[in-house]
Amino acid sequence: MRGDATETVGEAFQIDLLRTARDKSVEVIQRVAAHVRPGMTEADVKEALRAVQTELGSTSTWHPPQIRFGVNTLMPFGQKGRDDLRLQEDDIFFLDIGPIFAGHEGDVGRTFVVGDDPDMRRCSVDVEAIWLEVRNHWRQAKVSGAALYEFAAACAKSRGWQLALEQANGHRIADFPHAVRSRGSIEAFPDCPASDRWILEIQIRHPTRPIGAFYEDLLN
């Protein structure tokens, strides 16, 4: 093992391979999302996702993909949502994937919108903007994980959204499997999270409507 305590990595860990896993994960999401259409089910998208990941060189994942449509965008990671949903003409959805490339873990989440619903459009744009604000605050202020999510909550509130922290409060990443060496969330981390060791997650929800959005990526 290399590193100290919560931020340990394995002997096989290489930053360039971790970043390549991240980049390929983004490519997977973009390619899959480009083919998502109204009328599809979440299960349809999972099938497409599996095919694209395999094509790009990943035959396994370190966490099950989360495909969320409509009201299911409010669900925390791992919680079962409605399984009867089909994507509507005006709808919002997100993909959260964790493929393994060259023994390193990817983990990326993005939100997309079909149609012209203004709340959905704004939600999908704002969740990325909030992520970037929080990432930039991490770079500049070098604050603890807990302080980082306090800042995230304020960023969400300033735009009229609620920050959802249940199972969306950031976590470790590394060569697979990071979990045998380190677990825990950024929110609970007492120090400034190190670069190329953590995934920053932002999940927001509308204050009154049953819609939300999700964005996650590697802190570096």
- For residues 68-91, average pLDDT: 94
pLDDT band at 5 (very low <50, low <70, confident <90, very high): low
Tell me the C-alpha distance between 90 and 97, whole Å. Answer: 23
Mean pLDDT (the chain) is: 95
pLDDT band at 184 (very low <50, low <70, confident <90, very high): confident
Give the start-to-end residue ranges of the domains of the chain. 5-218
pLDDT band at 2 (very low <50, low <70, confident <90, very high): low
Res 9 pLDDT > 90: yes
Tell me the C-alpha distance between 70 and 38, whole Å. Answer: 12
Q: Is 39 helix (H, G, I), strand (E, B) or coil?
A: coil
Other Cβ atoms less than 10 A from the Cβ of 180: the count is: 11
Res 45 pLDDT > 70: yes
CATH superfamily of 5-218: Creatinase/methionine aminopeptidase superfamily (3.90.230.10)
What is the model's pLDDT at position 166? 82
What is the model's pLDDT at position 96? 98
pLDDT band at 1 (very low <50, low <70, confident <90, very high): low
Dihedral pair phi/psi, residue 153, rounded to 5°: -60, -40
What is the model's pLDDT at position 85? 96
pLDDT digits (tens, 9 = 90+) for 96-146: 999 999 999 999 999 999 999 999 999 999 999 999 999 999 999 999 999
Tell me the C-alpha distance between 114 and 178, whole Å. Answer: 35
